[in-house]
Chains A and B, each alone.
Chain A
Amino acid sequence: MHAESQIREPLIIGNKTYRNITDDIIAPIEGKANRTWYILFTIASLAFMWGIGCLAYTIGVGIGAWGSNNGVDWAWDITNFVWWIGIGHAGTLISAVLLLFRQKWRMAINRSAEAMTIFAVLCAAIFVTLHTGRPWLDYMLFPLPNQFGSLWPNFNSPLLWDVFAVSTYATVSIVFWYIGLIPDFAMVRDRVIKPRMKKAYALLSFGWGGSVRHWSRFEEVSLVLAGLSTPLVFSVHSIVSFDFATSVVPGWHTTIFPPYFVSGAVFSGFAMVLTLMLIVRKVYKLEAYLTIKHVEYMNIVIIVTGSIVGVAYLTELFVAWYSGVEWEQYAFLNRATGPLAWSYWIMMTCNVISPQLFWFKKLRTNLVFTFVLSIVVNIGMWFERFVIIVPTLCRTYLPSTWNTYTPSFIDVGIFVGTIGMFFTLFLLYSRTFPVIAQAELKSILKASGEAQKKASAEHAHH
Chain B
Amino acid sequence: MSKKYWKGLPELTDSPEFLQKKNNEFAEALPMDEFLSGDDANSKGTSRRDFLKVMGFSTAAVALAACETPVNKAIPYVVKPEEVTPGVANFYASTFYDGHDYASVLVKTREGRPIKIEGNDLSKVSHGATSARVQSSVLSLYDGARLNGPLAKGNATTWKNVDDAVAKSLSTGTAVILSSTIISPSTKAVIAEFTAKHPNAKHVTYDAISYSALIKANKNVFGKSVVSSYDFSKAKTIVGVACDFLGTWLNPIEFANQYSKTRKVNRENLEMSKHYSFEANLSLTGANADERYMVKPSEYGKVIAALYNEVAGATGNSKVSDAKVSNADAAKAITKIGAELVKNSGSSIVVCGFNDEGCQTLVNGINKMLNNYGKTVDVELYYNLKQADDKEFLDLVADLNAGKVGTLMTYNCNPVYTAPSSLKFADAYKKATVKVSFSQSLDETAKLADYVCPDHNFLESWGDANPKRGHYSLQQPTINPIFAAPRYEGTRQVQDTLLKWSGIKTDYLTYLQGYWNNHIFPQQGKHLDFASFWANTLHDGVLKVSVLKDVPFVPAQIDSTGKVVATGVAAIVNELVVDTTKVIKPTAHVAATPGAVATVANADYNKAAAMATSAKGGTYELVVYEKIGLGNGNQSNNPWLLELPDPISKVTWDNYITMSIPDVKKLGLNEMLRQDIDGSIVDLTVNGVSVKVPVFPQPGQMPGTIGLAVGYGRTAEAMKAAFGVGVNAFPFVSVINDTLQYVGLNATVAKAEGTHTFASTQIQHTIMGREEYILREVSLKEYKDKAKEVWNPEALLPMHGGGTKHVNEVDLWAEHPRMNHKWGMTIDMTSCIGCAACVVACTVENNIHVVGKEEVGKTRDMHWLRIDRYYTSDMNKDKAHEEGLGTKQMYIDMENPSANPKVTFQPMMCQHCNHAPCETVCPVLATSHSTEGLNMMTYNRCIGTRYCANNCPFKVRRFNWFNYIDNSMFADVNPAQQDLGRMVLNPDVVVRSRGVMEKCSMCTQRLQAGKLAAKAAGMPIVDGAIKTACQSACPTNAIMFGDANDENSEVSKWRSDDKNYYLLEEVGVKPTVSYLLKVRNQDEAIHHEAHTTAPKHEGKADAHKEEHHS
Instruction: Please give the residue numbers on chain A whose beta carbons come within 8 Å of chain B beta carbons, in ascending order.
Output: 61-64, 67-74, 131-135, 137-138, 140-141, 151-154, 156-160, 163, 243, 246-249, 322-326, 330, 333, 337, 339, 393-394, 396-404, 406
Bound-state CA distance A325–B908 (Å) is 24
Residue B342 lies at the interface, judged by CB distance under 8 Å to chain A: no
Known: A69-B860, A133-B996, A400-B762. A62 touches B963 (CB 8 A): yes
Interface segment among B600-608, B951-959, B1025-1033: the answer is B951-959
For the complex of A and B, the 8 pairs showing the least CB-CB separation, nearest first, are A133-B944, A133-B995, A64-B961, A324-B1095, A400-B868, A324-B1096, A73-B946, A134-B995
Check A247 against B950 for contact (C-beta < 8 Å): yes
Check B917 against A141 for contact (C-beta < 8 Å): no
Bound-state CA distance A168–B954 (Å) is 35
Q: From DSSP, what is the main secondary structure of chain B's interface residues?
A: loop
Given contacts A63-B961, A397-B770, 11 further A-B contacts (CB under 8 A): A62-B961, A68-B961, A74-B946, A74-B950, A133-B946, A134-B996, A141-B924, A324-B1096, A326-B769, A399-B870, A400-B869
B953 CB to nearest chain A CB (Å): 5
Residues of B within 8 A of A156 (CB): 920-921
Check B925 against A153 for contact (C-beta < 8 Å): yes
Known: A154-B925, A398-B868. A243 touches B947 (CB 8 A): yes
Residue B943 lies at the interface, judged by CB distance under 8 Å to chain A: yes
Residue B740 lies at the interface, judged by CB distance under 8 Å to chain A: no
Check B922 against A247 for contact (C-beta < 8 Å): no
Offer 28 A-B interface pairs, CB within 8 angstroms, sorted by A: A62-B960, A62-B963, A69-B961, A70-B949, A70-B957, A70-B958, A73-B949, A74-B946, A74-B950, A133-B944, A133-B960, A134-B943, A135-B943, A157-B947, A158-B921, A247-B917, A248-B951, A324-B1098, A330-B768, A333-B888, A393-B950, A397-B773, A397-B774, A397-B954, A399-B774, A400-B868, A401-B954, A404-B859
B1095 CB to nearest chain A CB (Å): 4
Residues of B within 8 A of A61 (CB): 962-963, 967
Check B860 against A398 for contact (C-beta < 8 Å): no
Residues of B within 8 A of A158 (CB): 921
Q: From DSSP, what is the main secondary structure of chain A's interface residues?
A: loop
Known: A70-B958, A137-B943, A248-B951. A62 touches B923 (CB 8 A): no
Of all chain A residues, the one with the shortest Cβ separation from B948 is A73
For chain B, the bracket of interface size reads: 35 or more
Bound-state CA distance A64–B958 (Å) is 12
Bound-state CA distance A398–B946 (Å) is 19
Residues of chain B in range 958-987 having any CB-CB distance to chain A below 8 Å: 958-963, 967
Check B768 against A396 for contact (C-beta < 8 Å): no
Check A397 against B950 for contact (C-beta < 8 Å): no
Residues of A within 8 A of B960 (CB): 62, 133
Instruction: Please give the residue numbers on chain B whose beta carbons come within 8 Å of chain A beta carbons, in ascending order.
Output: 674-675, 677, 762-764, 766-770, 773-774, 855, 858-861, 866, 868-870, 887-888, 891, 906, 908, 917, 920-925, 941-947, 949-951, 953-955, 957-963, 967, 994-997, 1064, 1067, 1069, 1093-1098, 1104
Of all chain A residues, the one with the shortest Cβ separation from B863 is A70
Check A399 against B859 for contact (C-beta < 8 Å): no
Q: Which of B766, B767, B768, B958 has the most CB of A within 10 A?
A: B768
Bound-state CA distance A41–B963 (Å) is 37
Of all chain A residues, the one with the shortest Cβ separation from B767 is A399
Check B924 against A62 for contact (C-beta < 8 Å): no
Bound-state CA distance A163–B947 (Å) is 14
Of all chain A residues, the one with the shortest Cβ separation from B887 is A333
Residues of A within 8 A of B768 (CB): 330, 399
Residues of B within 8 A of A141 (CB): 923-924, 943
Residues of B within 8 A of A400 (CB): 762, 764, 866, 868-870, 906, 908
Bound-state CA distance A152–B922 (Å) is 12
Check A248 against B959 for contact (C-beta < 8 Å): no
Check A399 against B770 for contact (C-beta < 8 Å): yes
Check A71 against B921 for contact (C-beta < 8 Å): no
A182 CB to nearest chain B CB (Å): 37
Of all chain B residues, the one with the shortest Cβ separation from A321 is B1097
B803 CB to nearest chain A CB (Å): 18
Check A69 against B859 for contact (C-beta < 8 Å): yes
Check A247 against B924 for contact (C-beta < 8 Å): no
Contact of A132 among B888, B906, B944, B1096 (CB under 8 A): B944
Bound-state CA distance A155–B586 (Å) is 76
Bound-state CA distance A423–B197 (Å) is 88
Check B770 against A134 for contact (C-beta < 8 Å): no
Contact of A159 among B762, B766, B921 (CB under 8 A): B921
Bound-state CA distance A346–B902 (Å) is 39
Known: A154-B924, A248-B1069. A70 touches B950 (CB 8 A): no
Of all chain A residues, the one with the shortest Cβ separation from B861 is A70
Of all chain A residues, the one with the shortest Cβ separation from B769 is A326
Check A160 against B868 for contact (C-beta < 8 Å): no
B83 CB to nearest chain A CB (Å): 39
Residues of A within 8 A of B921 (CB): 156-159, 246-247
Check B951 against A64 for contact (C-beta < 8 Å): no
Residues of A within 8 A of B946 (CB): 68, 73-74, 133
Residues of B within 8 A of A246 (CB): 920-921
Residues of A within 8 A of B908 (CB): 398, 400
Contact of B962 among A62, A138, A394, A401 (CB under 8 A): A62
Check A325 against B924 for contact (C-beta < 8 Å): no
Check B994 against A324 for contact (C-beta < 8 Å): no
Residues of B within 8 A of A71 (CB): 859, 949, 955
Known: A62-B963, A140-B943. A67 touches B858 (CB 8 A): yes
Check A154 against B922 for contact (C-beta < 8 Å): yes
Residues of B within 8 A of A62 (CB): 960-963, 967, 994-995
Check B674 against A339 for contact (C-beta < 8 Å): yes
Check A248 against B917 for contact (C-beta < 8 Å): yes
Of all chain A residues, the one with the shortest Cβ separation from B955 is A401
Residues of A within 8 A of B858 (CB): 67, 69, 406
Residues of B within 8 A of A406 (CB): 858
Check B859 against A403 for contact (C-beta < 8 Å): yes
Of all chain B residues, the one with the shortest Cβ separation from A389 is B950
Bound-state CA distance A400–B957 (Å) is 14
Residues of A within 8 A of B674 (CB): 339
B1093 CB to nearest chain A CB (Å): 7
Residues of B within 8 A of A64 (CB): 855, 860, 961-962
Check A397 against B941 for contact (C-beta < 8 Å): no
Check B770 against A337 for contact (C-beta < 8 Å): no
Bound-state CA distance A74–B996 (Å) is 15
Q: Which of A133, A138, A243 has the most CB of B within 10 A?
A: A133
Check B859 against A72 for contact (C-beta < 8 Å): yes
Of all chain A residues, the one with the shortest Cβ separation from B892 is A337
Check A402 against B763 for contact (C-beta < 8 Å): yes
Check A333 against B947 for contact (C-beta < 8 Å): no
Residues of B within 8 A of A70 (CB): 859-861, 949, 955, 957-959
Known: A131-B945, A141-B923. A249 touches B951 (CB 8 A): yes
Residues of B within 8 A of A135 (CB): 943
Of all chain A residues, the one with the shortest Cβ separation from B913 is A248
Residues of A within 8 A of B957 (CB): 70
Check A399 against B961 for contact (C-beta < 8 Å): no
Bound-state CA distance A322–B1095 (Å) is 8
Q: Which of A394, A397, A401 has the most CB of B within 10 A?
A: A401
Q: Which of A137, A138, A246 has the most CB of B within 10 A?
A: A137
Residues of B within 8 A of A153 (CB): 923-925
Residues of A within 8 A of B764 (CB): 399-402
A265 CB to nearest chain B CB (Å): 21
Of all chain A residues, the one with the shortest Cβ separation from B674 is A339
Check A157 against B923 for contact (C-beta < 8 Å): yes
Bound-state CA distance A160–B923 (Å) is 5
Known: A133-B960, A322-B1095. A398 touches B923 (CB 8 A): no
Of all chain B residues, the one with the shortest Cβ separation from A322 is B1097
Check B770 against A339 for contact (C-beta < 8 Å): no
B949 CB to nearest chain A CB (Å): 4
Bound-state CA distance A402–B673 (Å) is 13
B618 CB to nearest chain A CB (Å): 37
Residues of B within 8 A of A68 (CB): 946, 961
